[in-house]
Structure 1
Amino acid sequence: MDNRIGIDAGGSLIKIAYEENGRLHFRKQPNSELDEALQWLKIIAGNRSFYLTGGKAGTIKANFFPEANIIDEFSAVCEGSRHLKMKEAMSGSAPYILVNIGTGTSWFTVDGAEYERVLGSGMGGGTFMGLGRIFSEGDGFFDLVSLAASGDKSNVDLLVKDIYYPEKAPIDGELTASNFAKSQEITSSSPADKMASLNNMIAETLTLLTVQAASLHNIKQAVFIGSTLAGNKPLQNSLETYCRMSGIEPFFLENGEFSGAIGAMLS
């Protein structure tokens, strides 16, 4: 595979995977730096072949690498996740729900070499970034993640224990009864509190859809990938908690955000 470069050009980021001496290397840059990334690629390319996937693959082929091969986005991301999962020796060949959290989110069933896209949602990293800019002055992904980690969602969300107070709640009182429902407190809550609530709302929504997809296809395992998870420990922790609470075994692939680029390279 040393003679191949895989590129996943998505809605927000360009992700690159290539192999040297049997070792995978990765690089990612925002689409605003697309020209810089592709100029760098031309420098290291040598006689390598390019394999493109993602929404902007056609544009990159037309403007930069006319000899490149375009790979179907869904097959690339599933193949890449399968490769990474095998490298990490995760639960053998059991079927799984693949949850790709990028700008939006897609769900797939993966069973051996067979895969099927079963669901999609506009809830994802684009939601986190867009609402994050409304809720705070932070304009970078990691700034917003840091705010979410330091905030308290209970200052914004109506919790089950709030509804039942002073009585004891019949279920876990820390669970969300309604996101962003403390309307009187929202104006005085901090940007960090709002970001914590937003991160939690995304986690709850994606878990709910994951559990529904898993139940429909009788699958007990979910594999999470995508750029929105990279460096976002609060989101990962919430997804893990809610999945386990719902009877789903969650896995988070190291370098999972590069699944599409890896799958394109391996095609």
Structure 2
Amino acid sequence: MSPHSTSTHAPDPTAGEPGKTSGETREGPAETRTRRTTFASQNDIEDTILHPGTVRINVQGAFITDDEPVTPRSEGEEYEHDPRDIRLPNHTAVVSHIAVDIGGSLAKLVYFSREHNGTSVGGRLNFLKFETEKIDTCIGFMHKLQNDQQQLNGSKPEELCIMATGGGAFKYYDRIREALGVEVIREDEMECLIIGLDFFITEIPNEVFTYSEEQPMTFVPIPPQPSSIYPYLLVNIGSGVSMIKVSGPRQYERIGGTSLGGGTLWGLLSLLTGARNFDDMLKLAEKGDNSTVDLLVGDIYGTAYNKIGLKSTHIASSFGKVYKAKRAAEREAEDGCNGDGKHHDEDELVQGSSELPHTPAKFRSEDISRSLLYAVSNNIGQIAYLHAEKHGLPRIYFGGSFIGGHSQTMNTLSYAIRFWSKGTKQAYFLRHEGYLGAVGAFLKRQPRNWGRRSSFEDTRPSLH
């Protein structure tokens, strides 16, 4: 039985203005801030260009923007710029590298750029994604960034370094290096995921949140002590699903997973609907009614099964109504086409045909999309709970491009965790859930502990 019950979906959780967290202060809009004097000497800047690993990204005052993306885009280019860039108002040092996480379905790109407003200091982390099958578009965009390095960051094109992770970091290594003529450093995928997630949890306000239909987006404060976040379970949902137990900084173990992930949903809906991309599939699911496709508890019992805690709207069998409805439509079509009651024998069928000519049962693409989304999400949620329970992990973080800020997906995963744990465990989500690996690879170019606010309390002169 699936724990998910059908209901109307909640408002889009990606809306809303980032606010302040306890102990954090935030500057006003960039237009009203005056330019600060930077204390980085020319020698400091030259040193960071020649030795990028010495750059320390200043996250003090960081916040998520809600403005329009500033990424330059040429007409006809196929990529998506996430509208939630991260402003780093106090970072002034040169950053001469970009990071890319190339998965089986999507390539995620992260890079730093200066603010275009001449009255603002600092800059921002930009987030973009490309379909992996169009990797040349991604490489072309990186080439454009390379040409614009001087303007974006103050470094020269030949000084660019590519930090790459994911399976595509190996598959497309030669192609990237030959196209850009720069150093490409490959990093371990799992380690990058953990580094990226730790950074978001401990350093970026209004990044982590819980989700329910009653409270679509409840932000989780930054923990006072970074070490208090461990242990936890990361459920990374990309083309497939990996479940990673994290015991401490860079201390992790893959404890399970499933091949039924985003690639499963994408592949099956490509066969069953006319949707051309993943976003279209999610939009279809928003408009769907899975009760026309799924067999519900109420369809079997006529009511709820309260003794074991199942509502009448709980899913008893995903796609459970399809076979019966389809066969009924076929019989009706046969009877209509053959008034004399004749039925075709097997040897009368056209070679290669799987069924008699008929008017098939009408299953809307929207209903199919919603049913399959629930099926995949419920399966992931239950497996995640079982791993968390087995290993004694109190917190479960969901990451990966499969989620995409989609309300139904988050509600299904969150509901599944609450249902199976009887309310003892909570699902946590991130506003940049698809960029954990890319951000982790970006941070790998920095010294250990680069992003901690305490890392600036040392004897070296400040770069802001």
2:197 is equivalent to residue 85 of structure 1: no
**Could you tell me the TM-score, scaled by structure 2's length?**
0.55
Compute the displacement of 1:220 (Å).
2.1
2:141 maps to 1:40? yes
Number of aligned residues = 267
Contact 1:159–1:174 (CA under 8 A) maintained in structure 2: yes
Worse-matched range after superposition: 167-176 or 193-202: 167-176
Pick the structure with more strand per residue: 1
Distance 2:300 2:276 in 1: 35
Give yes or no for the alignment of 1:11 onto 2:104: yes
1:145 is aligned, of 262, 282, 292, to 282
Unaligned segments of structure 2, at least 5 residues: 1-56, 58-94, 114-121, 147-156, 208-220, 327-360, 445-464
Distance 2:407 2:289 in 1: 15
Any conservation in 2 of the 1:97–1:221 contact (CA below 8 Å)?
Answer: yes
Letter in 2 for 1:118: I
Deviation at 1:90, TM superposition (A): 5.0
Q: Give the corresponding residue for 1:56.
A: 168
Of all paired residues, the percent bearing the same amino acid is 31
**Residue identity matched to 1:173:** S
Aligned to 1:26: 127
Deviations 1:142-165 (A, max 9, x none): 221111111111111111222212
- Please name the residue that 1:160 is paired with: 297
- Richer in helix (by share): 1
Does the CA-based 8 Å contact 2:303-2:312 persist in structure 1?
Answer: no
In structure 1, distance between residues paired with 2:381 and 2:304? 28
* Conservation of the 8 A alpha-carbon contact between 1:95 and 1:111: yes
Query: What is residue 185 of structure 1 aligned with on the other side?
Result: 325
Separation in 2, partners of 1:193, 1:127:
17
Q: RMSD value over aligned CA atoms?
A: 1.8
Give 3-state SS (helix, strand or coil) of 1:64's partner. Answer: helix
Say whether the 8 Å CA contact 2:284–2:366 is kept in structure 1: yes
Q: Which amino acid aligns with 2:236?
A: N
Q: Partners of 1:211 and 1:117 in 2: how far apart?
A: 15
Code of the residue aligned with 2:108 in structure 1: it is K
Query: Which residue, out of 206, 211, 236, partners 1:100?
Result: 236
The residue that corresponds to 2:436 in the other structure is: 259
Distance of aligned partners of 1:62 and 1:95 in 2 relative to their CA distance in 1, 3 Å threshold: same
Gaps of 5+ in 1: none
Secondary structure of the structure 2 residue equivalent to 1:106: strand
- Counterpart contact for 2:240–2:259, Cα < 8 Å: yes
Asked whether the 8 Å contact 1:61–1:67 carries over to 2, the reply is no
Larger Rg computed on CA atoms:
2
Structure 1 CA distance for aligned equivalents of residues 255 and 404 of structure 2: 24
Q: Does 1:209 align with 2:209?
A: no
Q: Is the 8 A contact 1:84 1:256 kept in 2?
A: no
Tell me, what secondary structure is at the counterpart of 1:181? coil
Q: TM-score, normalised by structure 1?
A: 0.93
